[in-house]
Amino acid sequence: MTEQIDWWRGAVIYQVYPRSLHDSNNDGIGDLQGIIEKLDYIASLGVDAIWISPCFKSPMKDFGYDISDYRQIDPIFGDLADFDQLIEKAHALNIKVMIDQVLSHTSDLHDWFSESRQNKTNDKSDWYVWADPNPDGTPPNNWQSIFGGPAWQWDSRRCQYYLHNFLASQPDLNFHNPDVQQAVLDNVEFWLKRGVDGLRLDAITYCFHDQALRDNPAKPEELRAGRGFSEDNPYAYQYHYYNNERPENLGFIEKIRALLDKYPGAVSLGEISSEDSLKTMAEYSEGDHRLHMTYSFELLTNDYSTGYVQETVSTLEEALSDGWPCWAVGNHDVARVVTRWGHNTQNPDFPKMVTAMLGSLRGSLCVYQGEELGLTEAEVPYDKLQDPYGIEFWPTFKGRDGCRTPMPWDDKKVNSGFSEGSPWLPVDASHLAKSVNLQEADPDSVLNAYRTFMAWRKQQPALINGDIEFIESAEQVLMFKRTDAHSGQKLLVAFNFSDQLIKTQAAQLPNLVQIPLKCHKNGEINGQELTIPPFGVFFSTFQ
């Protein structure tokens, strides 16, 4: 493969949540022109690509993940001309553009569903998952929606239930129908022809359902651990064998890859959610005929320990053949990592360490907007909530609004420079001290540490392409080797996950030569004794 086609291996992908990045027309909602205005800033981060969360036409019941027209930009974000301008400027800055594609379901306002629900004989009558009720009128099986309650909604037009794995306003498409598959692929190709460089495939494991509509089995209480959903949600009470990750999905994945292969350099990144996400990640990225990259919620949990990270990465590495992982510690669906893992620490060394750790794992990485600033989860009062998930499960689960609040650009401007209008979510006052203008003026800031590390990382072939091998160390120290056969570079890296100074034994490796990183707290090696400060990092070459 050429370098152009392989650009995604080891790439840094910056997730843009359009509603909250920057508002160019002061209506309180971020937009495509706002992204365009901030592309120079994004380029300064040293990222390789941006992933833009959905900006397509939508009633916004789930803020763009309920699409009513896959080929139009929603007017709140702009229009197709704005999108074309965004691609042109991004490419001029050597930034690839990836877009979210939500294929498993549509909005209930999509023309396909409007036709499908009319009767049982129209041309699109089986484009969605319809089922008759049980004799007593109850739903056809026990499947649950991620957003709470049964995954079936009664429709009085057809006197049938339709499936919705998410909101009732997000009916699931019937991918057992080949016409549905082709229509979805045609929509994807519309954007490939327009110049996008890749697809982030949302909820891609949900495309197919069990045609026999078998009940999902119950999950023991001790195993009801959430992966991106609230643990007090009845969704956690089941093994999702029949409404998720059906074997037929692999054939459709291969059709997506065949389409992408017609556009050299275009890549796929699949969001994986299943009962064994690491196994599914390996399966979905197997060979050169399935997804280029996969990522899951495995590092988006509350478990913050070196043992958990090592076990998670090692388990995937053992399952992978020639697949390629993509790691993330934050996105638009989970509490920000400084809150989730760092317990709202104000120590700037913590987010610096997390960035360096994430960027040192084997694979590519997704970075959610604001992580480069070390933002904490915002406090959003109940009367300001927008997320239907949070409104449903308040107060035990406050939803996803806390990670979606506007970016703080300038502490001296109204709404931190995000918008002069009333923002769709309030700007958290605690974020002002971490605004971009203040951090750019501070050479030791989290932002400048991010830039420094990412620029340095690009020059380390072992971190971009190398193999990974974990080394046992002190309990709160994550240590591993990265080795690149092509360049011959060998790196020993270590991270202190604790807020205490730790002394541990370095690996018995020949000719360790430390590489101090600017803007980071660096460990020190003395013989074989390694001393790492709180939330510190250590990088060294060896032979």
Do 191 and 294 belong to one domain? yes
Do 377 and 479 belong to one domain? no
Decide which of 397, 425, 455 is a domain's last residue: 455
What gap in Å lies between CA 332 and CA 403, rounded to an integer? 6
What gap in Å lies between CA 342 and CA 351, rounded to an integer? 8
Quote the pLDDT of residue 1. Answer: 34
Is residue 141 included in any domain, yes or no?
no
Say if residues 243 and 143 touch (Cβ distance below 8 Å).
yes
- pLDDT tens string, the chain, 543 residues long: the values are 334 559 999 999 999 999 999 999 999 999 999 999 999 999 999 999 999 999 999 999 999 999 999 999 999 999 999 999 999 999 999 999 999 999 999 999 999 999 999 999 999 999 999 999 999 999 999 999 999 899 999 999 999 999 999 999 999 999 999 999 999 999 999 999 999 999 999 999 999 999 999 999 999 998 886 555 556 789 999 999 999 999 999 999 999 999 999 999 999 999 999 999 999 999 999 999 999 999 888 999 999 999 999 999 999 999 987 889 999 999 999 999 999 999 999 999 999 999 999 999 999 999 999 999 999 999 999 999 999 989 988 988 889 999 999 999 999 999 999 999 999 999 999 999 999 999 999 999 999 999 999 999 999 999 999 999 999 999 999 999 999 999 999 999 999 999 999 999 988 899 999 999 999 999 999 988 999 999 999 999 999
Are β-strands 49-52 and 96-102 bridged in parallel, bridged antiparallel, or unpaired? parallel
Do 444 and 520 belong to one domain? no
Do 38 and 101 belong to one domain? yes
Decide which of 429, 455, 481 is a domain's last residue: 455
Quote the pLDDT of residue 296. Answer: 85
Do 387 and 493 belong to one domain? no
In order of 175, 293, 312, the CA distances from 283 in angstroms are 20, 11, 16
Quote the pLDDT of residue 297. Answer: 86
What gap in Å lies between CA 338 and CA 370, rounded to an integer? 11
Count the alpha carbons within 13 Å of 348 in the hemisphere toward its beta carbon: 17
Do 420 and 508 belong to one domain? no
Of these residues, 271, 283, 371, 387, which one is catalytic? 271
Do 185 and 264 belong to one domain? yes
Do 270 and 419 belong to one domain? yes
In order of 46, 373, 436, 438, 452, the CA distances from 433 in angstroms are 23, 10, 9, 7, 21
444 catalytic per annotation: no
Is residue 167 included in any domain, yes or no?
no
Structure-block tokens of residue 77: 């974000």
**Listed residue (538, 541, 542, 518) closest to 530, CA to CA:** 538
6 catalytic per annotation: no
Quote the pLDDT of residue 222. Answer: 87
Question: Residue 538 corresponds to which amino acid?
Answer: F
Is residue 164 included in any domain, yes or no?
no
Structure-block tokens of residue 301: 């949990």
What gap in Å lies between CA 4 and CA 322, rounded to an integer? 19
Residue with tokens 């250590």: 538
Beta bridge mates, 326: 364
Is residue 245 included in any domain, yes or no?
yes
Q: Kindly report the CATH number assigned to the domain that includes residue 87.
A: 3.20.20.80
Do 318 and 413 belong to one domain? yes
Do 492 and 449 belong to one domain? no
Say if residues 282 and 316 touch (Cβ distance below 8 Å).
yes
Do 407 and 483 belong to one domain? no
Do 513 and 391 belong to one domain? no
Is residue 243 included in any domain, yes or no?
yes
Is residue 88 included in any domain, yes or no?
yes
Q: What one-character DSSP code corresponds to residue 112? A: H
Quote the pLDDT of residue 406. Answer: 98
Q: Kindly report the CATH number assigned to the domain that includes residue 519.
A: 2.60.40.1180
Is residue 136 included in any domain, yes or no?
no
The domain of 65 spans: 12-105+176-455
Give the number of domains in the chain. Answer: 2
Of these residues, 202, 317, 333, 377, which one is catalytic? 202
What gap in Å lies between CA 8 and CA 267, rounded to an integer? 7
Is residue 160 included in any domain, yes or no?
no
Decide which of 431, 455, 479 is a domain's last residue: 455
Q: Whole-model pTM?
A: 0.96
